[in-house]
Chain A
Amino acid sequence: SQTIHQWPATLVQPVGSPLSLECTVEGTSNPNLYWYRQAAGRGLQLLFYSVGIGQISSEVPQNLSASRPQDRQFILSSKKLLLSDSGFYLCAWSGIAGTLSYNEQFFGPGTRLTVL
């Protein structure tokens, strides 16, 4: 079975510090990967998605960047955090075309980031 992991679960960082959040998927190959942000009490905002190693698409201009160094690893980074970067960060994966899991996205447990 497939599983998705995110760490850390919670993070408190000062303004101006760097950020690195990691997401890994097990039990599937060549997944599509996604990073979302969710502000408190609000909906999901897609930040980045990736259809393969080294392929990253950005949905909105951000103080953030994403990388996919390995097939099942997706990293969200920032060089200098802003207060507005606080939120709940969710990683998700979906299967490739032709598979049953193509349309559905499976979410990780999330990372709660607080920037002070």
Chain B
Amino acid sequence: DTAVSQTPKYLVTQMGNDKSIKCEQNLGHDTMYWYKQDSKKFLKIMFSYNNKELIINETVPNRFSPKSPDKAHLNLHINSLELGDSAVYFCASSQEAYTDTQYFGPGTRLTVL
């Protein structure tokens, strides 16, 4: 069974569109994260939720909106997509916030044309 799963794996879309990426973890973890990895492989945290509560909200455009319907799911919705949004987006989870091991999903490669 996949511990942290994301859908879709690839997403190709036009500028200005709205898209969502879904993430689910079956590890029973309390904390989930969204990271963005750019073309230079720099991995940067965007958001973190602990038991459905937003605990980290980095300086990202408000076109990005995370939603956590329950502690096993964390989705990312992106409005009005721009070329610069092209990247690989990773979801991750950990048992506890902050210091525990983070387990990453397989990533979603987003390409904005």
Does chain A bind chain B? no
